[in-house]
């Protein structure tokens, strides 16, 4: 019993009536999570900064363009232990960092007090429940913001370097989700969600499991739906003929939602004639035979289609919308955090001290 009551007793024992007491109490209860978070931040941010430096050196050696396949620089970058592969793995971990924040910092804030039955003692001191809650939330949330901001800056820099090194766009998948300070916005939001789940469920493990399910659902939703946060643009685009390349579809940093064509004896998809009319399999076969005994060699098909000025429809988000998309997602995460904190406030208001 003495161990369970230690956090609440500490309030009175260490000048618990003021801010300094709550500051000490927050450290006393969450010191290991905070120390681990700080250590992880230093390791990840420092590692990402070093990997970004390594990739930049190789990029300069390749005359500030993607290194050609077969060059020593390309081999060093793309090896299993090379800076590009390692940075890619770290960025994938960064995407799941907000879940760790929710589980290890957000959920225990109130759920552990309920489990250990210390709320009655903690909230019966001179510090009101609301002040106790918001002071601890602000302290832990501030630490979360500082740590995730450092990691977000490093991740944003590395994502941009990786885009330069590979020639891939900044609007695509993991690169987009790891840039623009989105890890910071999502990390703070998931901290608030963790606090809300801990307040509502009042048990650490069940609340943590719900936080995992919530994060996975949110991650999948954002990953698959963010290309449609704004209405995409659409235009017809000429096909390359093997000698003339019209360049990356939509530009080097565009998000290509629909760009490829489908050709089979049963179906031809996303292919148009020079006047912009859709082509079916029979129509393409009349222009450039690709099936049956009279089919031309597969290597000649692209040149034939380009010679007939065939087109494909490109559906994309232009690169100049990257900042707007980052702002929309960050605002959405901020709104989620505000809703979670409002739920915490309502839950604490209705919490009976006798139920601690």
pLDDT in tens, 276-311: 889 888 888 888 888 777 777 777 888 888 888 888
Q: Give me the pLDDT at residue 353, please.
A: 55
User: If you compute the radius of gyration of the chain from its CA atoms, what whole number of angstroms results?
Assistant: 27
* 141 within domain boundaries: yes
pLDDT tens-digit profile of 201-210?
999 999 999 9
- 152: Cα within 13 Å, side-chain hemisphere: 21
Considering the domain architecture, whether residues 307 and 252 belong to the same structural domain is answered as yes
Compute the distance between CA of residue 148 and CA of residue 178 in angstroms, rounded to an integer: 12
> Strand pairing partners for 268?
263
Reported pTM? 0.83
DSSP 165: H
Compute the distance between CA of residue 91 and CA of residue 51 in angstroms, rounded to an integer: 11
pLDDT tens-digit profile of 101-150?
999 999 999 898 888 877 766 666 666 777 888 888 999 999 999 999 99
User: β-strands 233-238, 268-269: how paired?
Assistant: unpaired
Task: Tell me the residue range of the domain where 290 lies.
Answer: 233-317
Considering the domain architecture, whether residues 116 and 52 belong to the same structural domain is answered as yes
Q: Label each residue of 240-303 as H, E or C.
A: CCCCCCCCCCCCCCCEEEECCCEECCCCEECCECCCCCECCHHHHHHHCCCCCCCCCCHHHHHH
Considering the domain architecture, whether residues 36 and 95 belong to the same structural domain is answered as yes
Contacts of 279 (CB under 8 A, 6+ apart): 268, 271, 272, 273, 287, 310
* 76 within domain boundaries: yes
Q: Give me the pLDDT at residue 19, please.
A: 72
* 39 within domain boundaries: yes
Sign (positive or negative) of CA dihedral 47, 90, 258, 261:
positive
- Please say if the pLDDT value at position 242 is more than 70: no
């Amino acid at each position: 019993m003495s161990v369970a009551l230690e956090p609440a007793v500490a309030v009175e024992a260490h000048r618990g009536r003021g801010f300094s007491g709550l500051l000490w109490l927050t450290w006393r209860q969450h010191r290991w999570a905070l120390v681990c978070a700080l250590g992880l931040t230093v390791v990840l941010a420092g590692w990402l900064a070093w990997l970004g430096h390594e990739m930049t050196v190789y990029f300069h050696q390749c005359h500030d363009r993607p290194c050609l396949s077969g060059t020593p620089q390309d081999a060093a970058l793309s090896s299993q232990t090379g800076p590009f592969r390692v940075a890619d793995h770290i960025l994938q971990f960064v995407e799941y960092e907000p879940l760790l924040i929710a589980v290890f910092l957000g959920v225990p804030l109130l759920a552990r007090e309920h489990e250990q039955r210390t709320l009655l003692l903690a909230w019966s001191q001179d510090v009101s429940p609301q002040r106790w809650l918001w002071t601890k939330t602000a302290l832990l949330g501030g630490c979360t913001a500082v740590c995730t901001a450092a990691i977000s800056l490093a991740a944003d820099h590395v994502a941009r370097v990786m885009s330069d090194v590979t020639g891939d766009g900044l609007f695509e998948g993991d690169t987009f989700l790891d840039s623009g300070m989105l890890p910071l916005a999502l990390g703070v939001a998931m901290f608030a969600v963790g606090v809300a789940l801990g307040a509502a469920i009042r048990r650490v493990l069940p609340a943590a499991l719900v936080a995992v399910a919530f994060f996975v659902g949110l991650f999948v939703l954002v990953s698959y739906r963010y290309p449609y946060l704004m209405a995409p643009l659409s235009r017809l685009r000429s096909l390359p003929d093997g000698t003339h390349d019209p360049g990356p579809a939509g530009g080097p940093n565009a998000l290509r939602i629909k760009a490829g064509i489908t050709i089979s004896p049963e179906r031809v998809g996303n292919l148009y004639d020079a006047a912009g009319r859709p082509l079916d399999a029979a129509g393409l076969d009349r222009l450039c035979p690709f099936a049956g005994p009279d089919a031309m060699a597969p290597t000649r098909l692209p040149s034939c289609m380009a010679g007939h000025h065939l087109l494909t429809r490109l559906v994309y988000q232009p690169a100049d919308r990257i900042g707007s998309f980052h702002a929309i997602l960050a605002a959405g995460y901020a709104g989620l955090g505000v809703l979670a904190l409002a739920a915490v406030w309502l839950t604490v208001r209705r919490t009976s001290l006798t139920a601690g």
